[in-house]
Homo-oligomer: A and B are copies of this chain.
Amino acid sequence: MDIVMDAEALNAFLGREFPQVAGEYRVERVDPDLLTARLTVGEAHLRPGGTISGPSIFALADLAIYCAILARIGPVALAVTTNASVDFMRKPEADRDLRAECRVLKLGRVLAVAEALIYSEGGTEPVARCSMTYSIPPKS
C-alpha cells in the first residue's frame, strides 16, 4: 500500500486535530511496513511502583495505529476504533519514553486492522502488544 502521509504530515495533522495531546506524541518514521511513534513520558503518565499507566500505553497504541492507517488513506479525522485488544506483558521503565512499532495487517474498504508492539526506549522486549480495528467512514 502506498504511503500518502509521511511523518511530518502526520505530526502536523495531529497538531491541528488533537491539540490536547499532540505535544506528548510524535510519529518518528513511516515506512510501507512499519510506523514508529513515541510517547514522551511525563508525570501524568506515572503510577505507583515506578511504572507507566495502562491508559497511557493504550493511548500510544491507539495513536500509532490511527496514524499508520491515515498514512495509507489520508487525513480522515473520523476513522474510529471499534475494537482493541491489549496484552500488558512487562513493567515499563518509568524514566524512559515509550516507543510503538505498528504494522497494518488489513486495509479494507470498511475496516482496517493493525497491531502495535510497545517498548520502553532502548528495550528489546515489548512491554505490551495491542491490536485494533478501525472503522473507515465512507467517502462522501
Q: Which of B55, B105, B110 is the one whose CB lies under 8 Å from A58? A: B55
- Can you list the 5 inter-chain pairs with the closest CB atoms, starting with the nearest? A85-B85, A55-B59, A89-B106, A84-B86, A58-B58
Within 8 A of B (CB), among A33-62: 43-44, 46-49, 53-56, 58-59, 62
- Interface size for A (C-beta < 8 A) is 43
Contact between A83 and B20, CB atoms less than 8 A apart: no
- Residue A12 interfacial (CB < 8 Å): no
- Residue A120 interfacial (CB < 8 Å): no
Within 8 A of B (CB), among A15-46: 17-18, 20, 43-44, 46
Q: Give the distance in Å from the alpha carbon of A117 to the alpha carbon of B54 in the complex.
A: 18
